[in-house]
Structure 1
Amino acid sequence: MAEVNFIADELSGEYAPVYSMWKNGDKSASSAGEIVCKEYEKTSDMDNQAGITDKPLMQV
């Protein structure tokens, strides 16, 4: 429950534009997931991180 409250607080505060995009989207789970992943969960240095994740993973 604490995580839900945390996300709800963020979506009504600093991330209000993400919530607005979500509400104005096509109301599908796919659209909501894409918005949350691309806009809410993105790192502050997304361009750098995208380059890192394009590299093959190391096997352990």
Structure 2
Amino acid sequence: MAGQIVAYVRVSSVDQNTDRQTFEGVHVDKVFTDKCSGGTRNRPALTEMLDYVREGDTIVCHSI
């Protein structure tokens, strides 16, 4: 069985828009999004994503 494609999106503040971070041409099964400063290690969606993914899944990120 093939794994899922899981995306992680992060912007630096709640006012920023995530629309720039698209995955054109890639079918993404689930997206996890954090809106928090890069200066913090508290990233709830990242933690949730890491708990969610399983062997065989692929994680995609628009930019690091």
Structure with the bigger percentage of strand: 2
Shorter-chain TM-score bucket reads under 0.3
Structure showing greater Rg: 1
Higher relative contact order (CA 8 A, sep 6+): 2
Structure with the bigger percentage of helix: 1
